[in-house]
């Protein structure tokens, strides 16, 4: 209703604060992506690719793969000057390629429930306000490779889903389902109603990750780069775990900690007895 009223008054809703807030919360995101590997993954993933731009004179195996996927998927493509690619992507290392894509995130709690109910043994990753875009990209990459069924992150305190996130994830963003929620505590309730155990990473926990069963449906909760998991979330978790560390620094960044926990889950689920 807000959008319709502002349009009738002849205003520009794109510039209004309320519209910007609404736009940021949409599950359908349009991006101008860049980089050869992200473009390859976008073309492989089946997401909507509206247009591809290639700089003149591109060569190499990755370029051949890109052009083959473009033909196979019948995607509109335009060959342009290299400087024109820069105009589309901004001041980034674009490797001579760009594309307009549309990503459909998990729409709402119902869609999240339906997705996880379709999985035999749900494996979820929850990011509590991970803020660094490079950490987010690295985490998405590991999540996709390790077989995570869904990545959940709150709107508040989390970075936007951008072309940079696609680039730092090496295109994993296009393969792993992402759900952005208003309240992690409400989403915890949805998960626990499906008997999905929530396990929080906590440096001062009494149990190590080797003492917890990740073999059954579970959601691993990782906190942000500074304060870790917020204390107000801990009472809603089923268990907490720490990652054993034996050096002098006693510190792992968010993306490395996440990778360690995800692959302990992989080990428990896929190692032979």
The yes-or-no verdict on residue 154 having pLDDT over 50 is yes
Q: What is the pLDDT of residues 91-130, one digit of tens each?
A: 999 999 999 999 999 999 999 999 999 999 999 999 999 9
Band (pLDDT 50/70/90 cuts) for residue 250 is: low
Torsion of CA 47, 51, 57, 62, to 10 degrees: 0
For helices 133-145 and 254-270, what crossing angle results, to 10°?
10
Q: What is the pLDDT of residues 42-62, one digit of tens each?
A: 999 999 999 999 999 999 999
What is the edge-to-edge ordering of all strands in the sheet holding 28-34?
Answer: 28-34, 97-104, 48-55, 77-80
Query: Residue 254 in contact with residue 132, Cβ under 8 Å?
Result: yes
**Mean pLDDT over each residue of the chain, to the nearest integer:** 90
The pTM of this model reads: 0.88
| Maximum C-alpha span of the chain | 68
Domains of the chain: 28-104 (3.30.1330.30), 109-270 (3.40.1280.10)
User: Which residue did the predictor score with more confidence, 34 or 22?
Assistant: 34
CB neighbours of residue 105 within 10 Å: 16
Backbone angles phi, psi at 127, to 5 degrees: -110, 115
pLDDT given for residue 1 in this prediction: 38
């Amino acid at each position: 209703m807000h959008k319709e009223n502002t349009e009738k008054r002849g205003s520009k809703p794109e510039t209004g604060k309320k519209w910007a807030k609404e736009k940021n919360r949409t599950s359908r995101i349009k991006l101008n992506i860049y980089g050869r590997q992200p473009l390859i993954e976008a073309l492989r993933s089946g997401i909507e690719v509206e247009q591809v731009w290639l700089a003149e004179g591109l060569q190499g195996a990755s370029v051949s793969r890109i052009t083959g996927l473009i033909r196979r998927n019948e995607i509109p493509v335009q060959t342009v000057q290299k400087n024109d690619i820069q105009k589309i992507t901004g001041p980034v290392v674009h490797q001579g390629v760009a594309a307009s894509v549309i990503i459909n995130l998990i729409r709402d709690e119902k869609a999240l429930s339906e997705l996880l109910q379709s999985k035999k043994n749900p494996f979820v990753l929850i990011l509590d306000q991970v803020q660094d875009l490079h950490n987010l990209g690295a985490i998405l990459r590991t999540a996709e490779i390790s077989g995570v069924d869904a990545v959940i992150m709150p709107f508040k305190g989390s970075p936007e889903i951008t072309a940079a996130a696609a680039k730092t994830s090496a295109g994993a963003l296009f393969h792993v389902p992402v759900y952005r929620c208003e309240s992690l505590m409400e989403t915890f309730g949805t998960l626990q109603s499906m008997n999905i155990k929530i396990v929080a990473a906590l440096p001062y926990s009494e149990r190590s990750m080797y003492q917890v069963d990740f073999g059954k449906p579970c959601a691993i909760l990782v906190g942000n780069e500074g304060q870790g998991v917020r204390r107000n979330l801990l009472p809603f978790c089923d268990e907490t775990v720490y990652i054993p560390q034996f050096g002098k620094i006693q510190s792992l960044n968010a993306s490395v900690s996440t990778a360690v926990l995800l692959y302990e889950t992989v080990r428990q689920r896929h190692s032979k007895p």
